């Protein structure tokens, strides 16, 4: 029996989860300020959701999915990305029928991809995501990008680079597809097996190949921007204009295609330029996916969103030496000496907790000095001391740990005193 976590997974211990909770709370509050509401979908879906939604020619579907047959002989897949499952839920629950449109959603998800584990990229990963469904307005593309940039800036990140591109509408994509096939066909014998299989099915995926990324044909491949029709050009120009108005700097990169088949029109990534962040600089990726709902059997529904890796976000914070303002101190540590004082302490501790005071007490029957050391390790602001003498007098000694100042207060007023000192529930 192995007592190690499976390869590509990690245990998040309390010292780490405090950072995660802080980040998640900030992202949740920010989403609400943009009027996005939380959605939670199943950890696994029918495999077809990802095959049809993400695309058969993507690395995710071909190589990275955790897929199994359940006891009903149905093909089930642990979700490798968030968008397809959210769109499935949107369609199944007929959210398109709501009078409030677009439908603006956010989520926190655990995702599963069978790939080579490396720094910031695990087989079980965590993602914050945004999906806006039901609007083809380029202003919402800009809004989604603005939300992502604002999230990073609120967390203190400054070494950021926003890269955008347009993949165009169906007409533009088909024109670009034909140009790519013509360009890569003479080099087909020089490309990897994956690129060979994708040439006729989805040549855009060749541009995303990691094995052939340095091949000279990649550098001279036709740019999608040269094949945008007038409507697609206007759409992209409008997105850029909105970003300019919001003073969000960006770089247009015509080679940015993203790794999922459902993208069209706007595609974007946010990268970290922080020194020491690592070779893989991408923090977040997203884009528009008009047509995905139709691929899953629903009505024509435009959509746009992004997925933000939480692991990579925390890596970026570390690379920029950003310390999150986490208050992990204890309001009060209760020290009781003797059986009767301990019985009374149990009641008082419960009353304090009901008043939203963060309090703990000794459960190891330690001597007073050891309990003070425990209070210090827990960063307790105050210590309450209750012994036999104090119990007889109906008093509690309250010590402020930083100054060492001590006062004696009535036991009945302890809760009110701590609420006043620590801002508990009024």
In this predicted structure, what is the pLDDT of residue 260? 65
- Both 314 and 342 in one domain: the answer is no
124 forms bridges with which residues in the sheet?
112
In this predicted structure, what is the pLDDT of residue 261? 65
Contact 345, 361 (CB under 8 A): yes
- 3-state SS class at 246: coil
Contact 349, 359 (CB under 8 A): yes
In a domain, 413, yes or no: yes
Q: Which residue has the tokens 């071909």?
A: 62
- Which H or E run contains 363? none
Structure tokens at 425: 């529930």
Say which residues have a Cβ less than 8 Å from residue 53's Cβ, sequence separation at least 6.
Answer: 83, 84, 87, 88, 262, 292, 295, 296
Q: Which domain holds residue 383?
A: 330-422
Structure tokens at 273: 């330029």
Residue that is last in its domain, among 319, 346, 372: 319
- Both 126 and 244 in one domain: the answer is yes
**β-pairing verdict for 124-133 and 303-309:** antiparallel
Backbone angles phi, psi at 152, to 5 degrees: -65, -40
- Both 270 and 145 in one domain: the answer is yes
How many structural domains comprise the chain?
Answer: 2
Q: How far is CA 35 from CA 28, 133, 222, in A?
A: 11, 13, 39
In order along the chain (426 residues), what is the average pLDDT of each group of 10 residues? 88 95 98 98 96 77 90 96 96 96 97 85 94 97 98 96 94 86 84 80 76 82 90 97 98 82 88 84 94 93 96 94 94 96 96 96 94 96 96 96 95 95 66
- Both 117 and 21 in one domain: the answer is yes
- Both 106 and 45 in one domain: the answer is yes
CATH code, domain carrying 81: 3.30.930.10
In this predicted structure, what is the pLDDT of residue 190? 81
Per-residue DSSP letters for 27-60?
HHHHHHHTT-EE----SEEEHHHHHHHT-TTSHI
Residue that is last in its domain, among 266, 295, 319: 319
CATH code, domain carrying 400: 3.40.50.800
- Both 273 and 417 in one domain: the answer is no
In this predicted structure, what is the pLDDT of residue 319? 93
Say which residues have a Cβ less than 8 Å from residue 216's Cβ, sequence separation at least 6.
Answer: none
- Both 314 and 335 in one domain: the answer is no
In this predicted structure, what is the pLDDT of residue 275? 85
Contact 327, 119 (CB under 8 A): no
- Both 250 and 398 in one domain: the answer is no
**DSSP state, 64?**
I
Residue that is last in its domain, among 263, 287, 319: 319
**pTM of the shown model:** 0.89
In a domain, 188, yes or no: no
In this predicted structure, what is the pLDDT of residue 259? 61
């Amino acid at each position: 029996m192995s007592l190690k976590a499976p390869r590509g997974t990690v245990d998040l211990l309390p010292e780490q989860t405090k950072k995660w909770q802080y980040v998640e709370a900030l992202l949740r509050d920010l989403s609400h300020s943009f009027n996005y509401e939380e959605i939670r979908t199943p950890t696994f879906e029918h495999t077809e959701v990802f095959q049809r939604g993400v695309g058969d020619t993507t690395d995710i579907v071909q190589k990275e999915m955790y897929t199994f047959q359940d006891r009903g002989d149905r093909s089930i897949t642990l979700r490798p990305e968030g968008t397809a499952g959210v769109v499935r839920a949107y369609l199944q629950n007929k959210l398109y029928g709501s009078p409030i449109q677009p439908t603006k959603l956010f989520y926190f998800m655990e995702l599963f991809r069978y790939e080579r584990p490396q720094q910031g990229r695990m087989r079980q990963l965590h993602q914050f995501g945004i999906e806006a469904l039901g609007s083809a307005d380029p202003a919402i593309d800009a809004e989604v990008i603005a939300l992502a940039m604002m999230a990073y800036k609120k967390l203190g990140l400054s070494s950021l680079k926003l890269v955008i591109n347009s993949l165009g509408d169906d007409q533009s994509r088909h024109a670009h597809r034909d140009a790519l096939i013509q360009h890569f066909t003479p080099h087909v014998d020089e490309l990897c097996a994956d690129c060979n299989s994708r040439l006729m099915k989805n040549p855009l995926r060749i541009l995303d190949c990691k094995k052939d990324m340095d091949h000279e044909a990649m550098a001279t491949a036709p740019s999608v921007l040269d094949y945008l029709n007038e409507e697609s050009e206007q759409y992209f120009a409008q997105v850029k204009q909105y970003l300019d108005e919001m003073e969000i700097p960006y770089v247009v990169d015509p080679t940015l295609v993203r790794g999922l088949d459902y993208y069209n029109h706007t595609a974007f990534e946010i990268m970290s330029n922080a020194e020491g962040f690592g070779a893989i600089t991408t923090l977040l990726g997203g884009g528009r996916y008009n047509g995905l709902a139709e691929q899953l059997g629903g009505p024509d529904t435009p959509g746009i969103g992004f997925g933000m890796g939480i692991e990579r976000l925390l890596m970026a914070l570390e690379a920029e030496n950003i310390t999150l303002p986490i208050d992990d101190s204890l309001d009060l540590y209760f020290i009781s000496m003797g059986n009767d004082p301990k019985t009374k302490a149990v009641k008082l501790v419960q009353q304090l907790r009901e008043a939203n005071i963060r309090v703990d007490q000794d459960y190891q029957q330690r001597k007073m000095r050891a309990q003070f050391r425990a209070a210090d390790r827990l960063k307790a602001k105050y210590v309450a001391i209750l012994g036999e003498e104090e119990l007889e007098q109906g008093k509690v000694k309250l010590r402020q740990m930083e100054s060492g100042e001590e006062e004696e207060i009535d036991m009945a007023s302890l809760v009110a005193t701590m609420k006043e000192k620590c801002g508990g529930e009024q």
